[in-house]
Amino acid sequence: MLDHSSKVPVTGDPLTDILRGLRLDGVEYGRCEMQEPWGLQFPAQTAARFHFIGRTGCWLLQPSGEWVELKAGDAVLLPRGAAHVLASEPGTEASPIQGYEVAEICKNVYCMSNEGCRPGTLLFFGSMYFNLDGLHPLLGMMPDVMRAHELEAYEPGIPHLLEAMAREVTMERVGSGGILARLADVLAATVIRSWVERGCGDSSGWIAAVRDREIGRVLAAIHLEPHRDWTVETLARMMGASRSGFAERFATIVGETPAKYVTQVRMHQARQWLVRDRLKISVVAARLRYESDASFSRAFKRVIGSAPSHFRAEEQAETRQAG
């Protein structure tokens, strides 16, 4: 159940307040051993992708089209799940990852390999979902590829997590599959946290707005309590400004009117409740204090581009297929 009690910012830093509940939930993991030459195509997906190189380095074809070398012990996160390739050498012919037969090691952890008995590159990868909507400004600001080694100087825990994964990836001990999955979740979340705390790689746009002393407090309140019936007057009082003065400053810094921004945040949260928590449309409409399902559906479609019934239909179809 969600807690609907008041969530007043407590740290004094609006960005920290907004993101203190940020979480990555792993849904599927794979361990594969590949003998050269080899190449794996990973298609675009809504979930983030994570890769750990356990033994023998390889190459990553980034979404930008550039190849980058990954050493044994490297880990990378593709937060928006962009299409990419892992290969033994740049330009090696790659096959879709879905084409390989897999064997389940434990719940949601699978093993695969190509032919050959000589030790090859050992990989552990996973798919993970943020508890943020895909249209959240933070996700749009993240780089296509985030490398753990590039952040470890700022996050002392990263080397220890990488060392722990290297010990477990051989799968020679009881429970290694489950432990690897949990380590991958923690490492990916640590990489995101380090990137955020280092300034998100940008000092403009949404981050600059959040870090504004006055507007940041308002944004934090909106994100922490999207179910509240926020009005321009209420938000202006929070900033200690007149209605017109607040609206003008907000639009200048954020790039949206207060009303439009509030509606976007509310609809992004609504999509999370529909898709992630599988709530009924009527429940979501009531939580956001709409007078009717119809008025909620119109607002939802205006922001998201599809009616909420579209997401409910998709969820029900997936449930039937799983059954």
Domain positions in the chain = 22-198, 206-322
In the block, tokens 């002392």 appear at 156
Share of the chain above pLDDT 90, in %: 45
Residue 247's pLDDT band (cuts 50, 70, 90): very high
Higher pLDDT, 256 or 100: 256
Residue 2's pLDDT band (cuts 50, 70, 90): very low
Q: What is the pLDDT at residue 319? A: 43
Higher pLDDT, 76 or 275: 76
Q: What is the pLDDT at residue 233? A: 95
Q: What is the pLDDT at residue 1? A: 33
Say whether domain 206-322 belongs to CATH 3.40.1190.20: no
Q: What is the pLDDT at residue 197? A: 76
Q: Per-residue pLDDT tens for 10-29?
A: 556 777 777 777 777 788 89
Residue 260's pLDDT band (cuts 50, 70, 90): very high
Share of the chain above pLDDT 70, in %: 88
Q: What is the pLDDT at residue 199? A: 66
Q: For residue 33, what are the β-bridge partners?
A: 113, 122
Residue 313: pLDDT over 70: no
Residue 53: pLDDT over 60: yes
Residue 314: pLDDT over 80: no
Q: What is the pLDDT at residue 244? A: 94
Average confidence (pLDDT) over 91-117: 77
Q: What is the pLDDT at residue 204? A: 59
Q: What is the pLDDT at residue 321? A: 43
Average confidence (pLDDT) over 19-41: 84
Q: What is the pLDDT at residue 192? A: 87
Give the separation between CA 274 and CA 261, rounded to whole angstroms. 20
Give the separation between CA 139 and CA 131, rounded to whole angstroms. 11
Q: Per-residue pLDDT tens for 169-210?
A: 876 777 888 888 889 999 998 888 888 777 666 555 787 888
The 3-state secondary structure of the chain reads CCCCCCCCCCCCCHHHHHHCCCCEEEEEEEEEEECCCCEEEECCCCCEEEEEEEECCEEEECCCCCEEEECCCCEEEECCCCCEEEECCCCCCCEEHHHCCCEEEECCEEEEECCCCCCCEEEEEEEEEECCCCCCHHHHHCCCCEEHHHCCCCCCHHHHHHHHHHHHCCCCCCCHHHHHHHHHHHHHHHHHHHHHHCCCCCCCHHHHHHHCCCHHHHHHHHHHCCCCCCCHHHHHHHHCCCHHHHHHHHHHHHCCCHHHHHHHHHHHHHHHHHHCCCCCHHHHHHHCCCCCHHHHHHHHHHHHCCCHHHHHHHHHHHHHHHC
Residue 261's pLDDT band (cuts 50, 70, 90): very high
Q: What are the backbone dihedrals phi and psi of residue 41, each rounded to the nearest 5 degrees, phi first?
A: -95, 125
Give the separation between CA 241 and CA 214, rounded to whole angstroms. 10
Average confidence (pLDDT) over 105-112: 76
> One fold for both 22-198 and 206-322?
no
Residues sharing a CB contact under 8 Å with residue 35, sequence separation 6 or more, in sequence order: 113, 114, 115, 116, 118, 120
Q: What is the pLDDT at residue 323? A: 44
Burial class (CB within 10 angstroms; exposed 0-12, middle 13-18, buried 19+) of 17? buried
Q: What is the pLDDT at residue 119? A: 62
- Domain 22-198, second-level architecture: Sandwich (2.60)
Average confidence (pLDDT) over 276-300: 93
The answer to whether 194 touches 142, Cβ cutoff 8 Å, is no
Residue 117: pLDDT over 50: no
Residue 69: pLDDT over 60: yes
Higher pLDDT, 241 or 314: 241
Give the separation between CA 232 and CA 237, rounded to whole angstroms. 9
Higher pLDDT, 13 or 76: 76
Q: What is the pLDDT at residue 141? A: 81
Higher pLDDT, 203 or 129: 129
